[in-house]
Amino acid sequence: MFNTIIKTLESFIISNASLTVFLGCILEQIIVPIPASLIVLTSTFLVLKGTSFSIPALGTLMINIVIPASLGITLGSLVYYFLAYKLGMPFIERTSKYLGVSVEDVENFGKKVNESRYDEIFIFLARCLPIIPSIAINLFCGLIRYDLKKYIIITFLGSAVQILGWGILAWSSGNIYLILEDKISNMGNIITVVIILVVIGLIIIKRRQKVRNKK
């Protein structure tokens, strides 16, 4: 039954990859504590597993994974952008413990932006590299009422770079997995046999000990 559920989920993701990553990345930005990277890695692995590196396959990655995921992240991030925009610091102070980000995180990001010469480039790089929590970026940009048009463009492009990186990683992993699949399968069989032998050996030893104790 468990295998059936897994197969059904895999078929759904493969058939609806764009919708899956789009909705998943929106929810990840708002409420669900599942990293967008995990959504992208899983979807790309299933969609492109065994596909050789080529321009058409790269196009599939861009259309089915990168663009929908980047749109999802951008739309989802607007929720906290607008909340911070409208409600300001009091909103961040009241909800920080529920959002998984502290006031200090937002303030520290703000200091780094202020210290940089070009805030657009810094925010873009912060989106590209998953080092700073995205929610801290969303809240800060809303708090300072960062230009909405710039925010949307930078968020989309920065997210696209990050998602493309995760996608290529998953794509490569899928091909490596197929190469090693038989070896992994054989190794699993060997490990299973070893475990069975160990269990049988332990049973024999315990029975012998019982016989000795009776004597």
Range of the domain at 74: 2-185
Q: For residue 106, which amino acid is it?
A: V
pLDDT per residue of the chain (215 residues) written in tens, 0 to 9: 556 666 676 677 778 888 989 998 998 888 866 777 788 888 888 888 767 788 888 898 999 999 999 999 999 999 999 999 999 888 888 887 788 787 888 888 888 877 777 788 888 998 998 788 888 899 989 988 999 999 999 999 999 999 998 888 888 776 555 444 455 445 444 544 555 566 566 556 656 655 555 45
At 192 the pLDDT is 47
> 203 in a domain, yes or no?
no
> 214 in a domain, yes or no?
no
> 201 in a domain, yes or no?
no
Helices and strands of the chain, counted as H and E runs: 10, 0
> 193 in a domain, yes or no?
no
- The pTM of this model reads 0.74
At 209 the pLDDT is 59
Instruction: Count up the domains in the chain and report the number.
Output: 1
> 211 in a domain, yes or no?
no
Q: DSSP letters of 85-153?
A: HHH-HHHHHHHHHHHT--HHHHHHHHHHHHHSS-HHHHHHHHHHSTTS-HHHHHHHHHHTT--HHHHHH
